[in-house]
Each structure stands twice: as structure tokens, then as C-alpha cells.
């Protein structure tokens, strides 16, 4: 579904992503671990076409996308749920969801079906559909951000640090929902500093450090690896 070959991304003179190669297959649930500033968000923005790599190729569903516009990539079936949520705080929950369906705005039936699906997944969004997004709790806002990302009916969902700033109980709830989204058929690439949470729910993981992949493997092996435990699990 997704293949990166030797991808590099710069900001001016600084190289942020350094020759990253990785592969995600249809149905996979994969984590991207890394500490502050490792380059997780930059890598996701590169995959989503918001940033253009200065080297290497990105392939999504067999098509080279590294020069494609971000909205074309969304149309192909890739959706990014950004770090920090980036909701429209003055708009209602419902209107925020509709923003996520922008690329299929004439597909009224499909949109209705997706609204039903995300409301079933996150019942609170149905209860609060007329409430302004900015007045939701942090956990509810994260749920709305994930739901909005699902409104384009993606085949691949990039989730950038959904657990950031949330209490452990809410993190557990969100982790369960994300797992359910994968089980319903959406391929997921999940970026997290919370390695413990990510490795518990994903099948496989990559570790990013200073813009390079330094390790990869099945999550149940990474979780017992000494380097990972020291750096990311506080062991």
C-alpha cells in the first residue's frame, strides 16, 4: 500500500528526514516511534504530500505520489490526522466532520454512511454534534480529529500522536478505537512518543531517530528490546 525508498526531506539547509525506506502492506497496523524532534511529523507530512522530499520516492497504491498535490493524495485514499488536532474550534462537531468529507462533497450517500460509522465508533460525537469543537474536552477533540480524518473514507490513515496530552484512561479508550478502525479494514500508520501504548496495539513498528530509521520489527519484539526499553519505555 505504501512504499518509501530512500526519502529525504529538508527545511532550508537542515536535513530532517535522512534516507528513510519503509513498506506498509494493506491491512497492516504499524507504529512509528521516536522522541521529540525525531522527525515523525515531518515524515508524515512528506507521505501526505504537504512537504516534498528532496530525494527518494513515495509510492501509494502503486503510484508515485512524491510530486503529487496533497489533495490528490487524499483523493487516492490517504488521510492524515495531524498532531495537535487542528480542528475548526468555532465550528460545530458536525461541520468539522463535513470538512473531512470535502473531497467527496457530491457523494451524499457515502458521506451519510461515514457519519453513521464515526458516530457509532464515537457515540459522544453524535450527542455533541451541534457543540462547537473548541469547547470539547481534549479527549473528545482527539476523537473528533480522528473521525474527521475518516470522513474521506481513507484506505491508509496516518495518525500523528493521538495520545499527546491525554490522561491514561482516555489514551486507553482512544487506543481501543484506533485498533477497532484497523480491524474494520483501514491500514494505519501510527506515530507515537507513547511507545508502550503503540507497541501494545500495532503488529509492527519502526523507530525513528534524528530522521533515520534505526530499528524495525514486530511490536512484541520491539517491546522487549533493550534499546527501545531504555529510550522509549523508561526502563
Ligand X SMILES: Nc1ncnc2c1ncn2[C@@H]1O[C@H](COP(=O)(O)OP(=O)(O)OP(=O)(O)O)[C@@H](O)[C@H]1O
* Size of the residue set binding Mg ion (CB under 5 A): 3
**Rounded Cα–Cα distance for residues 88 and 103 (Å):** 17
Closest distance to Mg ion from the beta carbon of 160 (Å): 6
Task: Examine residue 41 and tell whether it contacts Mg ion (CB under 5 A).
Answer: yes
Comparing CA positions, the residue from 9, 29, 52, 17 lying closest to residue 156 is 29
Binding site partner of 38, from Mg ion, ligand X, none, Cβ cut-off 5-8 A by kind: ligand X
Closest distance to Mg ion from the beta carbon of 85 (Å): 12
Task: Give 124's contacts (C-beta < 8 A, 6+ positions apart).
Answer: 140, 143
List Cα–Cα distances, 64 to 21, 52, 61, in angstroms. 14, 12, 8
Select the residue interacting with ligand X from 2, 7, 31, 42 (CB under 6 A): 42
**Rounded Cα–Cα distance for residues 47 and 41 (Å):** 10
Task: Examine residue 145 and tell whether it contacts ligand X (CB under 6 A).
Answer: no
Residues numbered 68 to 87 that lie near Mg ion (CB under 5 A) are: 83
Q: Between residues 122 and 206, which has the closer beta carbon with respect to Mg ion?
A: 206
Print burial letters for 165-174: b (CB count within 10 Å at least 16), e (below 16).
ebeeebbebb
Residue 64 belongs to what H/E stretch?
A: strand 63-64
Select the residue interacting with ligand X from 2, 4, 16, 47 (CB under 6 A): 16
The residue number with the shortest CB distance to Mg ion is 41
Site string for ligand X, 170-209 (x = CB under 6 A): -----------------------x----------------
Task: Examine residue 34 and tell whether it contacts ligand X (CB under 6 A).
Answer: yes
Binding site partner of 36, from Mg ion, ligand X, none, Cβ cut-off 5-8 A by kind: ligand X
**8 phi and psi angles, rounded to 5 deg:** -125, 140
Q: Between residues 140 and 160, which has the closer beta carbon with respect to ligand X?
A: 160
Amino acid at each position: 500500500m505504501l512504499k518509501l525508498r530512500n526519502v529525504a526531506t529538508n527545511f532550508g539547509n537542515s536535513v530532517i528526514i535522512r534516507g528513510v525506506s519503509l513498506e506498509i502492506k494493506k491491512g497492516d497496523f504499524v507504529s512509528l516511534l521516536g522522541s521529540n524532534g525525531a522527525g515523525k511529523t515531518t515524515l508524515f507530512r512528506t507521505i501526505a504530500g504537504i512537504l516534498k522530499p528532496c530525494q527518494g520516492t513515495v509510492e501509494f497504491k502503486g503510484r508515485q505520489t512524491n510530486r503529487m498535490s496533497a489533495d490528490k493524495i487524499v483523493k487516492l485514499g490517504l488521510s492524515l490526522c495531524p498532531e495537535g488536532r487542528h480542528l475548526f474550534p468555532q465550528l460545530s462537531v458536525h461541520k468539522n466532520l463535513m470538512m473531512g468529507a470535502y473531497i467527496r462533497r457530491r457523494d451524499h450517500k457515502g458521506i451519510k454512511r461515514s457519519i453513521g460509522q464515526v458516530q457509532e465508533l464515537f457515540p459522544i460525537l453524535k450527542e455533541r454534534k451541534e457543540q462547537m469543537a473548541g469547547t470539547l474536552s481534549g479527549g473528545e477533540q482527539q476523537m473528533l480529529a480522528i473521525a474527521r480524518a475518516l470522513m474521506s473514507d481513507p484506505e491508509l490513515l496516518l495518525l500523528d500522536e493521538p495520545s499527546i496530552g491525554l490522561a491514561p484512561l482516555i489514551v486507553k479508550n482512544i487506543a481501543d478505537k484506533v485498533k477497532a478502525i484497523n480491524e474494520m479494514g483501514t491500514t494505519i500508520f501510527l506515530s507515537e512518543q507513547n511507545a508502550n501504548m503503540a507497541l501494545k496495539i500495532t503488529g509492527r513498528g519502526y523507530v525513528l531517530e534524528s530522521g533515520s530509521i534505526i530499528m524495525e520489527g514486530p511490536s512484541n519484539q520491539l517491546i522487549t528490546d533493550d534499546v527501545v526499553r531504555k529510550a522509549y519505555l523508561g526502563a
